Amino acid sequence: MSSTTPVAETRQDRFERGMEVLTRIDEEAGQKLTDALADVAPELGHQIAAWAFGEIYDRPGLAPRDRQLVTLGMLTAHGGCEHELDVHINISLNLGLTPKEIIEALLHSAVYCGIPKALNATLVAKKVFGERGLLPMTTQ
């Protein structure tokens, strides 16, 4: 169901729609997130699902893989978002970005964010790639 549908939805409908999107791109991320927030900030969990994924991520104007390139750029620029980078490097792999493209995007970030932030992000990629058996990368 498109986010531009004129159909009326309840809060619960919107949450379920978002969780469906999130689960499609990462089988476990949605459940982990709502579990982590359940006893302290369930509304944040609701909004991440219902809004971030249900309303924005699922829009047709930009391919999911392309969204991940933008996201990798933003999280690298922020600094201090290693956990989110971990999640989003996994999602990027799930959505078809190759390890080589991800590493190249992070090298590219050195130009716009400087070496320290590019290096921090690359070490997160190293951790994720290691966990998924993708190391060593073949010679570039």
- Looking only at residues 101 through 130 of this chain, which bind a second copy when binding is defined by CB under 8 A? 101, 103-120, 122-123, 125-126, 129
Consecutive H or E run containing 48: none
Please, which of residues 16-35 interact with a second copy by CB under 8 A? none
Please, which of residues 34-63 interact with a second copy by CB under 8 A? 36-44, 47-48, 51-52, 55-57, 59, 61-62
Q: Which is nearer to a second copy, 27 or 62 (CB)?
A: 62
What is the rounded CA–CA span in Å between residue 39 and residue 107?
A: 39
Q: Which is nearer to a second copy, 27 or 123 (CB)?
A: 123
Among 1, 28, 35, 135, binds a second copy (CB under 8 A): 135
Q: Is 2 left (phi over 0), alpha (psi -120 to 50) or beta?
A: beta
- Nearest approach in angstroms of CB 98 to a second copy is 9
What is the rounded CA–CA span in Å between residue 122 and residue 117?
A: 9
- Nearest approach in angstroms of CB 27 to a second copy is 19
Q: Which is nearer to a second copy, 52 or 95 (CB)?
A: 52
Q: Is the dihedral of CA 26, 28, 29, 31 positive or negative?
A: positive
Residues 6 or more apart whose Cβ sits within 8 Å of residue 118: 76, 106, 107, 109, 110
Among 1, 12, 27, 32, binds a second copy (CB under 8 A): 12
Cβ atoms of residues 129 and 98 within 8 Å = no
- Nearest approach in angstroms of CB 67 to a second copy is 5
